[in-house]
Amino acid sequence: MTEATATPASYLSIDNLWKAFGDFLALKDISLNINEREFVCFLGPSGCGKTTLLRAIAGLDLQTKGRVVQGGKDVSNLPPSERDFGIVFQSYALFPNLTIEKNIAFGLENTGRSKSEITSRVAELLQLVGLPEQGKKYPAQLSGGQQQRIALARAIATNPGLLLLDEPLSALDAKVRVHLRHEIKELQRKLGVTAVMVTHDQEEALAMADRIVVMNHGVIEQVGSPTEVYRHPANLFVADFIGEMNQIPAIAGASGEVTISSTKLQSQRHDFNVGETIVAAIRPEDVIPHGDGARSPGAPDEIETPGNAFEVDVSEMEFLGSFWRCRLQHKMFGTGELIADFSINAVRRLDLAVGKTMTVELPQSRLMAFVPAGDAS
């Protein structure tokens, strides 16, 4: 579950962190290492404890038990003002009565910098976030995206060792959000600052993070790179929370085999005992569509694992721009349906339409087996 290989370049380490609000446990025994210059996202549904964890790292809401070590220094019980971080909030929290320049300069004052140093640093930061002309304006005169960039500039003005981002993009329009997440990532890489971002948006996490920490109910479900988390979810929760996933009740066979309503299919290797109730899972985009001649050897789209291919009825098709989402019926799934995403190309090539019958294959390497929801230890 938690990361097994703690690298020596660890910058921030969290040991056995607990947080109780009254008799509610918001964090349960969280341990995590974050490396220097790494961009880590805490991802999870609302109430999973991700913001609580961020605020504990910042010292804004102290943990009940456990240690936080930053840059080799135990900061577990230090107030925020004695830790080393910059923070950006969803609400930007820009001081409304100060100009953009003064907002950015706020943290530079009383630090032994001269007036001219501060002025040039502010100009440099404005340049860095791409708003060199806006220094004399007030926050209310800027757009949301611009305000968030100013908040970012203010947070990094003093060169903190750690940048904390608490849902920084949630209040923005979809277009601005996509643009800004790229910029933030770019900036973080350029500055080489270690960053922790909290988000509930999986797309954001996948696009920005070096590593994603998936959380639920106060525990870490999985830590891994975006591809790891997406390709090899540790459990059904992660599989379901990130991306789409078909979940089919099944019985475990020998390792590499699952049985869905008496049809035996080849799957990834698993550790279940034969006969255990499990959930077989496959992502919609991993379902392979096949033409009529696919069963004959040497065909351009020859079926890899013949046992995993079967005929289905197309019951519904939904056009989602870059692909078609199809609902497929087979007696194997009972009243349920198999959801499959087919490229526009494939739909045209196979001449698919509602009511038609087609062949699909669930490739062995993409068919996973999980403990059913609710049974999780």
Partner 1 sequence: MSNVDLTQLPAGPTIKGKLSRDDVIMRMGMGVIALYLIVTLAFPLWAMLSKSFSTFKFDLAGYELQVSDEDGTYSGEILTPELLNSELQVLTDNDLIAGSDSRLGLTPFFPDFSFRSPVKYQIRNTTDVGRFLVGSELKTGTEWLELDSNTFRRVQMRPVKATGMGNFINYFSTPALFNSIKNSMLIAVISTVVTVTLAFWFAYALNRTCMRFKGFFRLVAMAPILVPSLLPGIALVYLFGNQGMIKELLFGASIYGPIGIVIGSVFFTFPHAFIIISTALAISDARLYEAAASLRSTPWRTFWTVTIPGARYGLISAAFVVFNLVITDFGLPKVIGGQFNVLAVDIYKQVIGQQNFEMGAVVSVVLVIPAIFAFAIDRLVQSKQVALLSARSVPYQPTPNAKTDGIFFTYCVLVALFIVGILGVCQFAALIKFWPYDLSFSLTNYDFDRMDGGGWGSYYNSIKLGLFTAVAGTCIVFFGAYLVEKTNGFRLGRALFQMFAMLPMAIPGMVLGLAYIFFFNNPSNPLNMIYGTMAILVICSVTHFYTVSHLTAVTALKQMDREFESVSASLKQPTMKLFSRVTVPVCLPSVLDISIYLFVNAMTTVSAVVFLYSPKTSLASIAVLNMDDAGDIAPAAAMGMMIFYTNALARIIHLIVSKGVLKRTQAWRAR
From residue 43 to residue 62, the character string flagging contacts with partner 1 as x (rule: CB under 8 A) and all else as - is: ---------------xxx-x
269: left (phi over 0), alpha (psi -120 to 50) or beta: beta
Q: How far is the CB of 245 from partner 1 (least distance, A)?
A: 24
Nearer to partner 1, 86 or 289 (CB): 86
The SS3 of residue 186 is helix
Residue from the set 78, 176, 178, 371 that interacts with partner 1 by CB under 8 A: 78
Is 190 a binding residue for partner 1 by CB under 8 A? The answer is no
89 binds partner 1 (CB under 8 A): yes
Q: Which two tokens stand for residue 33?
A: 């290492």
- The answer to whether residue 207 forms part of the interface with partner 1 (CB under 8 A) is no
- The Cα-based distances of 59 to 43, 67, 75, 225, 352 in angstroms read 20, 11, 8, 27, 57
Residue 218's region, left for phi above 0, alpha for psi from -120 to 50, else beta, is: left
Distance CA 169, CA 57 (A): 20
Please give the single-letter amino acid code of residue 331. K
The smaller minimum CB distance to partner 1, of residues 164 and 358, is found at: 164
Output 75 or 258, the one with its CB closest to partner 1. Answer: 75
Tell me how crowded residue 206 is: count the other CB atoms within 10 A of its CB.
Answer: 18
Using the rule CB under 8 A, is 139 a contact of partner 1? yes
- Strand duo 323-329 + 309-319: pairing: antiparallel
Of 164 and 260, which has the nearer Cβ to partner 1?
164
How near is the Cβ of 66 to partner 1 at its closest, in Å? 7
**Closer of 58 and 205 to partner 1 (Cβ):** 58
Residue 363 has a CB neighbour count (10 Å cut-off) of 17
- Select from 4, 5, 8, 23 the one that contacts partner 1 (CB under 8 A): 23
Stretch that binds partner 1, among 15-23, 314-322, 342-350, 354-362 (CB under 8 A): 15-23
If binding means CB under 8 A, how many residues of this protein chain bind partner 1? 50
Q: Which of 66, 71, 249, 363 touches partner 1 (CB under 8 A)? A: 66
Dist. CA 241–CA 85, nearest whole Å = 30
Give yes or no for residue 191 binding partner 1 (CB under 8 A): no
Q: In the set 2, 10, 35, 91, which binds partner 1 (CB under 8 A)?
A: 91
Q: Quick one: 26 or 358, whose CB is closer to partner 1?
A: 26
Q: Is residue 252 within 8 Å of residue 369, measured between CB atoms?
A: yes
Core vs surface per residue 32-64: b (16+ CB within 10 A) or e: bbbbeebbbbbbbeeebbbbbbbbbbbbbeebe
- Closest to partner 1 by CB, 10 vs 91, is 91
Among 3, 31, 69, 80, interactor with partner 1 by CB under 8 A: 80
Q: Which is nearer to partner 1, 218 or 284 (CB)?
A: 218
Interacting stretch for partner 1, rule CB under 8 A, among 3-11, 22-30, 124-132, 285-293? 22-30
| Beta-carbon-side half-sphere exposure of residue 136 (alpha carbons within 13 Å) | 1
Q: What is the SS3 assignment for 238-254?
A: HHHHCCCCEEEEEEECC
Residue with tokens 């991802």: 43
Binding residues for partner 1, per CB under 8 A?
Answer: 16, 18, 20, 23-25, 28-29, 58-60, 62-66, 76-83, 85-87, 89, 91, 93, 95-98, 106-107, 109-111, 138-141, 154-155, 157-158, 160, 217-218
